[in-house]
Amino acid sequence: MIMSLSGIVLFAASAYDLFGAKQLLLPLTVTMLIIGVIAAFMGPALIAFPFREERRKRAAKNSLVLSVFFILFGWGCVFLHLPGARVEIIFGVLILCFFYGTLTFKNKFEKWRKYTRSSRDAFFLCLFDFLGIGCLLLGLLFRIQNWPLSQLMTVIGLVVMAIGTFSWNQKFKKEVVFRKETEDKLKESLEEIETQHRHLEEKQKEIIDSITYARRIQKSLLPTESYIRKTMQRLNKNMKN
């Protein structure tokens, strides 16, 4: 909430200087304006960060629907030449960039860090996507509104998105190679375990066969219990006589 309120104050001050006083340099004023807007819309999104994943996704989906509604409504007002039409477009794009974009960054990071060995890599890759798409959308908005620095922001957004896309490809190529190597090693280990298991079974069978053979020899050489009993009875009988 402090971030949102600070952003609103900074936005109001920079907007007043941009459209009224004009005491600061234009790049500085525009930078302050952008920072104020980012803080004002990212603050509520950061509040939703501790929410459960399902709740965050639902909040992101609702914000996406709301932003698309504002943008379409604003374009409709432009075609109908209604006053204040571009305000809805600006508001919709800002929600899309900094509220929906922030929640999408969080959701995407939570998803992809499970599939990468480094949470830091997943964080920076998701951050590149967030910054690139945000700069691109802001550049298009600035171009529509005929505001300064629109071309620079569009170029920065495209460059950051290109770097992010290339980094994603390189990262997942490495992950695929790593998983393939791990799978091959696991397969070799399983084959080795199966081979050892077969050897143990063969050894066990040999031992059991040896014990069975020895038992047979023992039975063939030693007298039976009934023979011993009869012999003892005969000896006892002889001794009595």
Q: What tens digit of pLDDT does each residue of 35-81 get?
A: 887 888 888 888 888 888 888 889 999 999 999 998 888 888 888 88
* Residue-level pLDDT at 223: 63
Q: In the predicted model, what is the mean pLDDT of residues 214-229?
A: 68
* Residue-level pLDDT at 61: 92
220 pLDDT above the threshold of 70 = no
CA distance 60 to 108: 12
Range of the domain at 219: 194-240
What is the total count of domains within the chain?
2
Q: What is the 3-class SS of the chain, one letter each residue?
A: CHHHHHHHHHHHHHHHHHHHHCCCCHHHHHHHHHHHHHHHHHHHHHHCCCCCHHHHHHHHHHHHHHHHHHHHHHHHHHHCCCCCHHHHHHHHHHHHHHHHHHHHHHHHHHHHCCCCCCHHHHHHHHHHHHHHHHHHHHHHHHHHHCCCCHHHHHHHHHHHHHHHHHHHHHHHHHHHHHHHHHHHHHHHHHHHHHHHHHHHHHHHHHHHHHHHHHHHHHHHHCCCHHHHHHHHHHHHHHHHC
CA distance 188 to 57: 41
Residue 207, in any domain of the structure: yes
Q: Check: CB of residue 41 under 8 Å from CB of residue 8.
A: no
CA distance 127 to 109: 9
Residue 139, in any domain of the structure: no
Q: How confident is the model at residue 222 (pLDDT cuts 50, 70, 90)?
A: low
227 pLDDT above the threshold of 90 = no
Of 26, 47, 68, the domain-final residue: 47
- Residue among 39, 16, 48, 45 nearest 29 (CA): 16
Task: Return the higher-pLDDT residue of 3 and 104.
Answer: 104
Q: In the predicted model, what is the mean pLDDT of residues 151-165?
A: 88
Amino acid at 206: E
Q: In the predicted model, what is the mean pLDDT of residues 97-125?
A: 85
Query: Under 8 Å CB-to-CB from 168, ≥6 apart: which residues?
Result: 125
* Residue-level pLDDT at 176: 66
Residue 127, in any domain of the structure: no
Of 10, 32, 47, the domain-final residue: 47
240 pLDDT above the threshold of 70 = no
Q: How confident is the model at residue 182 (pLDDT cuts 50, 70, 90)?
A: confident
CA distance 39 to 10: 9
CA distance 177 to 183: 10
Residue 31, in any domain of the structure: yes
Q: In the predicted model, what is the mean pLDDT of residues 141-164?
A: 85
**Average of per-residue pLDDT values in the chain:** 81
Extract the tokens encoding 9. 């104050």
Amino acid at 184: D
Rounded to the nearest angstrom, the gap between the alpha carbon of residue 229 and the centroid of all alpha carbons in its chain is 81
